[in-house]
Amino acid sequence: MLPATRSRVAANSNHAINRRIENGTRERVRRLADHAQEIPHRLAELDREWDIERALELTAASLALAGTGLGALLDRRFLILPTLVTGFLLQHALQGWCPPVPLLRRLGFRTAAEIEYERYALKLVRGDFSGLEQSGYASSPPARVDSALEAVGA
């Protein structure tokens, strides 16, 4: 059975690294709870943060392109590089793990879900969703859906 997309990288990462990433997120949110004026700046940083998938895509594309170019220009044996890289990408797509993942996790790359966890925790601390009940959340189902979608989009 294939792991769920949302949790597959963390499930295949070292527990100590997962803990370090989670503790870092918690510490940032706790610190910013006391300095709410800095939350917009942190949210902007989160918008620019590269998740592990993007880092893997860049690494794989660069290595595959380099291997293809070197194979075409210098020696066909370089074509093993794009073959290996695409195999690793397939493994990552299916299992959430491939050889570069442990290195990227040690470097601090987080999953999109981990980044979104911090984003929504900061928005909750800032009070972005506090008006949900007053804006019709407790009324009809369509009003609840509209209010929830509006709050999440904030």
Taking only the tens place, the pLDDT of each residue in 23-46 is 999 999 999 999 999 999 999 999
Q: Are 151 and 132 contacting, i.e. CB atoms less than 8 angstroms apart?
A: yes
Please check the confidence at residue 154 and state whether its pLDDT lies above 60.
no
Report pLDDT for 132.
66
pLDDT at 129: 80
Residue 145: how many other CB atoms lie within 10 Å? 11
| Tens of pLDDT, residues 66-103 | 999 999 999 999 999 999 999 999 999 999 999 999 99
